[in-house]
Amino acid sequence: MFFHAGCMDCENIKSRYKVMKILLKAFKTEIAPTIKQKAKIICSIGIARFLYNQYIAYNKKLYKMYQRGLLDSRQKHFVTAKDFDKYVNHNLKIKLPWIDECGSKARKKALVNAEIAFKRFFDGLAGFPRFKKKSNQDMKLYFPKNNKGDWRIWRHKLMIPTLKQVRLKEFGYLPVGAKVINGTVSCKAGRFYVSVVIDIDEKSKYNKDLEASYHITTDGIGIDLGVKDLAIVSNGNTFKNINKSSKVKRLEKRLRREQRRLSRKYEFRKTKGGATATASANIDKQKLKVQKIHHRIDTIREGYENKVVHEIVKQKPRFITMEDLNVRGMMKNKHLAKAVAAQRFNLILAKLKRKAQIIGIEFRTVDRFYPSSKNCHTCGHTNKGLKLKDRVYICPKCGYTEDRDFNAALNLRDAKEYRVA
């Protein structure tokens, strides 16, 4: 669209475009497919996972040959997803015709995801790509919108390509009649979910991040993440550790009991021997029980994290300052590894950063070597003798006494050296 300088009509259109900004929002909800649709989803996910693993195995073989110097300059040491998709269509499908039961777009997306994993490894951003296990249930089916009728949303159902109309478990959660760009279908612990990317107006009631209505009401805040409490904010708010709640502890106790039962079933099958040593209907049922408890605990943690992020952002601070935690280094401490893993620090940091960028809050990260817990907030003295077991900070120079984590949050808020994300 072209605009003319000085034209009032064009200025009005410009102002309308500023007000009516189009956003891409993702929505995820549970679906209730029929038995036939469930079988189709599970089958397609299995085929997509098979091709993902085949692509990794092929490139892994080439990578090892390249390292040993077995490939000459004319031979490729890496196959792209596009080339491997051609190999699947022209060769592999002839040997394994059941590959066609999965949609071509879903197959191609699985290969593209595997290629991205390799590129991240080559760029030094991640480790070497791993094979996807069936038990992890981390594969998703990708469906773009190719036809006009694809991804049409009603109040109680939606149209998914190849699956046709699928009922929703929660009515009215997805925007009715909205324009869907693409979507994915996944399965977790026997439950099926759909995630869609939708074009919505900034003023829509489905947009919870209204940038236009955002106004700074408070000064900046510092947040210290910990194991005892999840987050301590410099304004005095403290968010408790959800893993210490009676609900999570009860579920973890139940999980340990069901895992012991599963282990005993495996041992019993091994004593029988044979090809079915680790496969039986009872073992599959027990696996599903364990998966459901894992899924329940993950859902509780994720819901609490979202609540914490919302409560922090709702204060409308000018900036948020957090420490760039070395989570991998913290996991090496065998006494704290389990507690650190349960807190999911990286996910909270990513969610807060994303939310701040959407709304317009300045998100600051302080260097991981900054001694926020050891510095006195009053006089600036560094107490090098402070140990992890000391939960109350007492300054040896000025006598300032405060909770260790709250003192760290204050120091993060007032940090002079930081990096804006």
Q: What is the pLDDT of residue 379?
A: 86
Q: What is the pLDDT of residue 372?
A: 87
310-322 per-position pLDDT tens digit:
999 888 898 999 9
DSSP 8-class letter at 201:
E
Distance CA 366, CA 361 (A): 16
Do 381 and 396 touch, CB atoms closer than 8 A? yes
Q: Which parts of the chain sit beneath pLDDT 70?
A: 1-22, 202-217, 274-278
Instruction: Supply the DSSP string of 174-188, one letter for each residue.
Output: SPTT-EEEEEEEEEE
Instruction: Tell me the whole-structure pTM to 2 decimals.
Output: 0.81
Distance CA 368, CA 352 (A): 18
Neighbours of 140 (CB within 10 A): 20
Per domain, the residue ranges of the chain are 25-207, 221-238+314-420, 244-299
Report residue 193 as tokens. 């979910």
DSSP 8-class letter at 235:
T
What distance, in Å, lies between the first and last C-alpha atoms of the chain?
32
Distance CA 360, CA 166 (A): 37
Instruction: Supply the DSSP string of 4-63, one letter for each residue.
Output: -TT-HHHHHHHHHHHHS-EEEEEEEEEEE--HHHHHHHHHHHHHHHHHHHHHHHHHHHHH
Distance CA 138, CA 45 (A): 9
Q: What is the pLDDT of residue 58?
A: 93
Classify residue 6 as left (phi > 0), alpha (psi -120 to 50) or beta. Answer: left
Closest Cα to residue 347, out of 242, 202, 269, 268? 242
Q: Kindly give, in sequence order, each residue whose CB lies less than 8 Å from that of residue 53, ignoring residues fewer than 6 positions away.
A: 131, 132
Task: Determine phi and psi for 232, rounding to 5 degrees.
Answer: -115, 120
Q: What is the pLDDT of residue 16?
A: 44
241-271 per-position pLDDT tens digit:
999 999 999 999 999 999 999 999 888 888 8
